[in-house]
Amino acid sequence: MPLDTSRPPVLSARVPGSKSLTNRALLLAAAASGTSGLWAPLVSDDTVAFRRALGTLGIATSATPSDECWEVTGNGVGPFAPGRVWCADAGTAARFLPPFAATGRGTFVFDGSDQLRARPLGPLTRTLARLGADVQAAPGGGLPLTIAANGLAGGRVELDSGLSSQYLSGLLMAAPLMGGPLTVDVPRLVSRPYLDMTIALMRYFGAEVTETGGTVEVAPTGYTATDFVVEPDASTASYFFAAAAVTGRTVTVPGLGSGSLQGDLGFAEVLRLTGAEVEIGDHATTVTGPAGGLTGGFTVDMGEISDTFMTLAAIAPLADGPVTITGVAHARLKESDRIAAMAANLRACGIRVDETPESLTVHPGLPRPALIDCHRDHRIAMSFAVLGLGSGVPLTLDDPGCVAKTFPEFHTELARLFPLYEVPTKEK
C-alpha cells in the first residue's frame, strides 16, 4: 500500500510518568509490608524530593541505573526514624507525609522552600490534632511543622477540602496504619478526580475503602507490597495536546488511554470545544488541531482539572472568540496565584483578560513579544512555551528551568516534535 502523504505524520510525544501517581505510589509502598517496585516513575525535582524525604523517615529505597524502576521497602507501620524532613517545593510531600508520620513514633519536623511555606496546611493540621496528634504548625497552620507522633487511633472527623483535595488524600492514605477505622466527613471537595485516584491506588495496595455520599471510611488493614506501573502524566500531556491544537498537527501520547486513573486527561475533551479532533483509545490519546484555527466563544468549568486551566488560557488568544474558564478559585493557592499570574502575563503580551476571584476570560489577539514571569511555577513556563510556539511570537521565559519540577526535558521534547520551537537557554 503506498504511503499516504496527504497529511503530516503523527507526532508521538514522550511524556514522563505522572507526578501524582508516582508520589502516591511511593507513599503507599513505604506504608506497605515488603518491597514494591514502581515502574516508569517520574524522575523530577518533586518526586526525587519525595523519595529523599521517605529516606529521612527511615524508608529504604533504591533505583535501577536508568531509573526505570524504583524499589521501596516498607515495614507495614508508620515511621520510627524521627528527624527533619525537607519537602523542597513538593506540595504532595507537605500534605502526604505528615499524616503518615503521625501514625509512627517520634518527633518529626517538616519544612520546605519559601514557596512551599506560603501554601496553606491548616485544614490538615487541625484535623490531625483532632485525631490526637501533637502538632505544632507555623502561623496559619503551615510549614515548618512539628509532629510528636505516638500513633493514631482512628475515629471520626470532618475535613474541609475546599482548598485542596491533597489534605483528604494524605489523611486517607495514612488511615490503614491507624489503630482503628477512620471515618471522614467531607463537606467540601475540589479536584474530585484526584481523590478517585487516591482511593484507586489505596485499593490496589490492599486497603479497604468505602464511600457513601460525603463520607469516606477506611479500615485499619494496612497495605500489601505490590508492583505498580506509572502512567504518563496527563497534566504534562496537556501541553503537547495544546501544541497540536495550535499548530494543526497531530500528536499522540502512548500509554495514556481510556483506562487512565488521571482526571486531567479530561483536558483532551476540553480541546474538542476549540475544534480539535480527539481520539481516546485503550492505550493512547491523540489530538489533531483544527486546520482553520481554534474556535472560541465558549465557557468551560475546569475546577475538576484545574492543573490544566493554564494550558487552555495560554492558547486562548489564538481562538476566534473569547474563552471563559470558571471554577478555578483554588488555583490561587498553588505554586503561585495562578489566575493572577496568567492574567498578568497575558496582559504583558498585549492580550485583553477579564479576571474574577474564580474565573478568567481571555479575548482573541496576536501576542506581542514579552518577558514571561514564571513565578517559579512549572505550569506557567510550559503553558507560555506553547503560546510562543503557536503564535510564532518570541516569548521569553524568565525561569525556563522551573519545568524540572515535573519534566526536566520539556523544552527539548517540544523542540524535537516541533523544530521551530527554540529551546530557551536563560536560567535563574
360, 328 in Cβ contact below 8 A?
yes
Which residues lie below 8 Å from residue 163, measured CB to CB, with a gap of 6+?
120, 123, 190, 330, 333
Would you say residue 428 has pLDDT above 70? no
- Which three cell numbers mark 144? 515548618
Grouping H, G, I as helix, E, B as strand and the rest as coil, residue 375 is coil
Burial 168-200 (b: 16+ CB within 10 A, else e): bbbbbbbbbbbeebbbbebeebbbebbbebbbe
Mean pLDDT score of the chain, rounded to an integer? 95
Of 45, 89, 233, 307, which residue is the catalytic one? Answer: 307
226, 32 in Cβ contact below 8 A?
yes
What percent of the chain has pLDDT above 90?
93
pTM of the full structure: 0.94
Per-residue pLDDT tens digits for 286-328: 999 999 999 999 999 999 999 999 999 999 999 999 999 999 9
Q: What is the pLDDT of residue 4?
A: 47
Average pLDDT over residues 160-185: 96
Which residues lie below 8 Å from residue 162, measured CB to CB, with a gap of 6+?
187, 188, 189, 190, 330
Burial class (CB in 10 A: 0-12, 13-18, 19+), 300: middle
Q: DSSP secondary-structure letter at 137?
A: E
Ranges of each domain in the chain: 19-218, 234-417
Would you call 354 a catalytic residue per the annotation? no
* Architecture of domain 19-218 in this structure: Alpha-beta prism (3.65)
Average pLDDT over residues 131-152: 93
Could you tell me how many residues make up the chain? Answer: 428
> What is the pLDDT confidence band of residue 426, given thresholds at 50, 70 and 90?
low
Grouping H, G, I as helix, E, B as strand and the rest as coil, residue 27 is helix
Strand partners, 294: 319
Q: What is the pLDDT of residue 7?
A: 66
Q: What whole-number distance in Å separates Cα of residue 115 and Cα of residue 87?
A: 11
The fourth-level CATH superfamily of domain 234-417 is: Enolpyruvate transferase domain (3.65.10.10)
* Domains 19-218 and 234-417 agree in fold: yes
Q: What is the pLDDT of residue 3?
A: 42
Average pLDDT over residues 176-197: 96
Q: What is the pLDDT of residue 141?
A: 80
Would you say residue 335 has pLDDT above 90? no
Q: What whole-number distance in Å separates Cα of residue 211 and Cα of residue 184?
A: 10
Q: What is the pLDDT of residue 1?
A: 38
Look at 402 and 2; give whichever has higher pLDDT.
402
354, 329 in Cβ contact below 8 A?
no
Phi-psi region of 186 (alpha: psi -120 to 50; beta: other; left: phi over 0): beta
Average pLDDT over residues 381-399: 97
Would you say residue 105 has pLDDT above 50? yes
Q: What is the pLDDT of residue 6?
A: 56
Per-residue pLDDT tens digits for 5-57: 456 789 999 999 999 999 999 999 999 999 999 999 999 999 999 999 999 99
Look at 119 and 314; give whichever has higher pLDDT.
314
Q: How many CA atoms lie within 13 A of 130 on its CB side?
A: 15
Look at 279 and 1; give whichever has higher pLDDT.
279
> What is the pLDDT confidence band of residue 341, given thresholds at 50, 70 and 90?
very high
Would you say residue 120 has pLDDT above 90? no
Average pLDDT over residues 216-237: 98
